[in-house]
Amino acid sequence: MMQELEQASPHARITGTVYLLYFVTAISAQSLLTRRFTASAEVMNLLADGFYIALTLLLYRIFRPVNRTISLAAALLSLAGCVVMILTQLHFVGGRVTPLIFFGLFCILLGYLIWRCIFLPRLLGVLLILAGLAWMIYPVPQLPHVLLASIQVLGISAEALLMLWLLAKGISKERWWAQRAAFE
């Protein structure tokens, strides 16, 4: 039974590592951009997008036993956000379409899945739902600078806490398996 649990459970620490790689590459891209290394920043952004696509698929695998339909919808929204971001970076799409709408909805659904699951703390779900709502209003023109900064802090902190939890604690394989068994 233990070997079956080991094989069937998702790899939360691998997911956390991919999340960390996304954060490192995205932050590096922004750092390069502020130093006017535009070409390097664009390459780093594309690499970050690749990590986020992998992360999306890994998170789908983790949360599929909670609710397959919502997990799939969340993954599709995240992938749509990644496509919009890549197309924008490659200058195929103008600035009128923002990926933050897709990522906001993704965070809301992911937060809901965390709230409903039995293998992660509900507080992480609440924080992700709040972050998703914040990302949804972020593109609104003429928001005060203080509010924009608060939204960034909330959004980045919520995702960073999930990443750190996955890296440090992982998830209970027994609880994940129990959720999966209840789902089937």
pLDDT digits (tens, 9 = 90+) for 90-127: 888 776 789 999 999 999 999 999 999 999 999 999 99
Contacts of 77 (CB under 8 A, 6+ apart): 102, 103, 105, 106, 109
**Per-residue confidence at 172, pLDDT binned at 50, 70, 90?**
confident
- pTM score of the predicted model: 0.89
